[in-house]
Structure 1
Amino acid sequence: MRIMIVTDQYPPMVGGVPNVAHGLAVDFTQRGHQVWVVAPSYGTRDVQRTEEGVQVSRFSSFEWPTYKDLRIPLLPFGPIHKLLKQSDPDVIHVHSPIVLGNIAHILAPGLHKPLIATNHYLPNNMLSRSVLTDPVLGKPLSALIYSYLVYFYNRCDYVTSPTRTALDLLSDHGLHAPSKVISNGIDLKSYTPGAKDSEVIRRLGLPEDRPLIIHVNRLSEEKRIDVLLDAMARLRTPAHLALTSTGPAEAALRAQVEQLKIQDRVSFLGFVRDEDLIPLRRSAQLFVIPSEADLQSLAMMEAMACGLPSVAANSYALPELVHHNQNGFLFEPGNSDEMAAYMDRILQDPELQQSMGTESLNIIAAHDKDNVLDQWEELYTQLATEFAEAQRLRQRAHASSIAP
């Protein structure tokens, strides 16, 4: 099958959407499909090259002024139309309803190609927290963003979301296009429980003599890492927090650590490669996520697959993975006192850690990557077959209309 993935966010950008789009592209290639990716370049030149077996076309772009690392392509209608004609994909899968997604949507009908869109977005991902909580602007702007998202998705041939929560939010705001839930997949062959890796702990500069808490997420305002740092200041257990990844809020978070005087309890690790991140998870006792802007957390799913319990904000789709008092605890969003209390409770009870970690493994089993890829292939095949049949009928009707 010939598959085109269109996304405004793709590695080296860090984040959930780039990871999902990249993972699907590579996995489908490894399954024997031909895959093209349309994404922004990191400069003023178009670049076409093969990356991990995927044919990636990157188009010139500039950095979005209010969102570091997000690239805005320079409307490459002609080159993308040419690429679509040459590659002749069976399906086009859009992962961001911004510039490139809109171009694909405009071009797909004229080429009689089915367009699938996956929603990864909330208003929280597009507006600052100060704007969202503004009593005058917050609700109207949030409603405006949902109006745009639903308008875009209703013009697609099929819509998916990784969680029921995410899909229900779209339906509540007027989505009527055919749709279903398809989870993000986790490679349960790679992400597995294991023994503590002291060598990785030392190399990352982390202490070995105290419990380890990890948080893996982009360091941006909507992820509410400030709440986690406040919780660390209230924590009774002498534990250490490892923050991995980077992002625009890093400077403010470092300043908060100094203000709280918890420099000896928090490490900013920056980007950590998978070769180290997997053993880091296995060496930790707890995964935490205070985010109020996740429709599904890949990082939490990977931690669960390594057998970790979680403490998570009771926000959006996080409760679909963290079942309160089973594989972790849910706290009121923004409540650092409650978060700290649940963290202490798990860290101080090894038997609870073990039982919750086992339940994490049971829950995450349904999200195995191979099963998820099967679901995508089934949907792709269904839509490609339907469009091919519709095209044959159109050609037959046209031939009949001009016959003498």
Structure 2
Amino acid sequence: MGIAEPQRQMAEPKAKVLFLATVYTHLAAFHLPFMRLLQEKGCEVHAAASPAEGRKEEVEAFGVRCWDIPFARSPYSLRNLKAFRELKQLLEAHRFALVHVHTPVAAFLGRYLARVTGQGPVLYTAHGFHFYKGAPLRNWLIYYPAERLAARWTDGLIVMNQEDFDNACRLGFKPGKNLFYVPGVGVELDRSGPSGPPEKSIRAELGLAPEEVVVTCVAEMSRDKNHGLLLAAWKELASRRSGCHLILVGTGVLLSRWQEKVRAERVPRVHFLGYRRDVPQILRESDLAVLTSRREGLSRFIMEAMAAGLPVVATDVRGCRDLVEHGKTGFLVKLGDVEGLAGTLERLIQDRELRETLGRAGREKIRAFSLDRVLKEMEAIYTHFLSGVAS
């Protein structure tokens, strides 16, 4: 009787996870560490988004399988009808163990279609609900009912600021069961903190002297980021104080509008840098950070600026006030207060000791928002839902 041939072990297929957002730029900017985390847990990671704004190649470089879906940012765009059909085809062709959705349009369509096509649990990260204190009435009339409807298709909701947490409770989510408060998308403290001499200096690139004060804003050129307020305040400030420069990093639909405003009104010492990959280095060479948003989820730029040891001046809105402690790590100003913003910036420009004191306090506070901590919290959430514990 011969020796029996050992039974071959068939490798179990990897659990497939889908990240869904309106555009790849969002996934590339915020979610690559979480995709890598799931890959390390043995998952096959997919992503679906519109390639219209670029950065798809960055997602693919992580070994993520990408599916182009022609979402439009506006919920009124007819392009979303085509996106609905193509996403439905994708979900009918694949069975995902977990679907993690982001951004309002993709998140709404994705949650509905994931439910009707029988996908695994659906997680939704709200990067700042479009309904919030002070939001236009139309936002409450459109987005709040949409989120209340979509709650029934959402197995887990992740929020990143206190106001959204409170609103999520009103929507019927239960803390610890299907509602999770995570401190943003995390910031890499070592990457953002002080380092040695730069290989390429932004001050040298712009011809700025060491003693000149650099104020930096990193934000998409969009209505929500509210650069009009910042430029109006800078015009007031620059008319009475020299030796300071404003650096604007970012692109967007309003870029040409703000560039034209600076040219037409002859606003001095404003530098538009466009999209940059060296933001941590730019922040290390800056003296303070400013953000004048109308709304935020939890600003990654503010976190990076605090990690770099910079004081922050920001508008007193959700997602900024969760990070900036007025008078301790920076200052909060009211929306629309041009003179108040100009005065606050001027105070910091002329007081180096105050900048350094606020910056040290900010760097200490931001430790609680580190990427390492966020990864641990997200790993626990992913494990919970992938194990089938959630009902």
Scaled by the length of structure 1, the TM-score of the pair is: 0.80
Mapped to 1, the partners of 2:249 and 2:261 lie a distance apart of 17
Q: Does 1:272 align with 2:276?
A: yes
Q: Does 1:52 align with 2:61?
A: yes
Amino acid at match of 1:255: E
Mapped to 2, the partners of 1:159 and 1:237 lie a distance apart of 47
Deviations 1:93-143 (A, max 9, x none): 111342465245433465361111111244379xxx9xx6xxxxx424433
Matched with 2:370 is: 368
Mapped to 1, the partners of 2:40 and 2:345 lie a distance apart of 40
- Is the CA contact 1:124–1:222 (under 8 Å) kept in the aligned structure 2? no
> Superposition pairs for residues 3-402 of structure 1, below 5 Å?
4-11=17-24, 13=25, 19-29=29-39, 33-42=43-52, 51-61=60-70, 73=83, 75-85=85-95, 88-89=96-97, 91-99=98-106, 101-108=108-115, 111=118, 113-123=120-130, 138-172=136-170, 174-176=171-173, 178-183=178-183, 184-194=185-195, 197=198, 199-202=200-203, 204-208=205-209, 210-235=212-237, 236-238=240-242, 239-262=244-267, 264-273=268-277, 276-387=278-389
**Worse overlay, 27-36 or 213-222:** 27-36
Change (3 A) 1:280 1:228: same
Deviations 1:240-278 (A, max 9, x none): 00100111111221222134321x3101110011xx221
Question: Matched residue of 1:251: which SS?
Answer: helix
Mapped to 1, the partners of 2:59 and 2:319 lie a distance apart of 35
Amino acid at match of 2:368: A
Mapped to 2, the partners of 1:114 and 1:305 lie a distance apart of 34
Change (3 A) 1:74 1:204: farther
Question: Matched residue of 2:364: which SS?
Answer: helix
Scaled by the length of structure 2, the TM-score of the pair is: 0.82
Give the superposition deviation at 1:50.
7.4
Mapped to 1, the partners of 2:317 and 2:41 lie a distance apart of 35
Mapped to 2, the partners of 1:64 and 1:367 lie a distance apart of 28
- Is the CA contact 1:115–1:158 (under 8 Å) kept in the aligned structure 2? yes
Mapped to 2, the partners of 1:62 and 1:189 lie a distance apart of 35
Question: Matched residue of 2:206: which SS?
Answer: coil
Change (3 A) 1:316 1:65: closer
Question: Matched residue of 1:304: which SS?
Answer: helix
Amino acid at match of 2:250: S
Change (3 A) 1:79 1:49: farther
Change (3 A) 1:53 1:144: closer
Task: Report the number of matched residues.
Answer: 365
Question: Matched residue of 2:246: which SS?
Answer: strand
Question: Percent of aligned positions with the same letter in both sequences?
Answer: 22
Change (3 A) 1:50 1:313: closer
**Worse overlay, 315-324 or 94-103:** 94-103
Mapped to 1, the partners of 2:58 and 2:173 lie a distance apart of 38
- Is the CA contact 1:285–1:308 (under 8 Å) kept in the aligned structure 2? yes
Deviations 1:340-395 (A, max 9, x none): 1111111211111111111111111001111111111111212222358x7xxxxx
- Is the CA contact 2:75–2:105 (under 8 Å) kept in the aligned structure 1? no
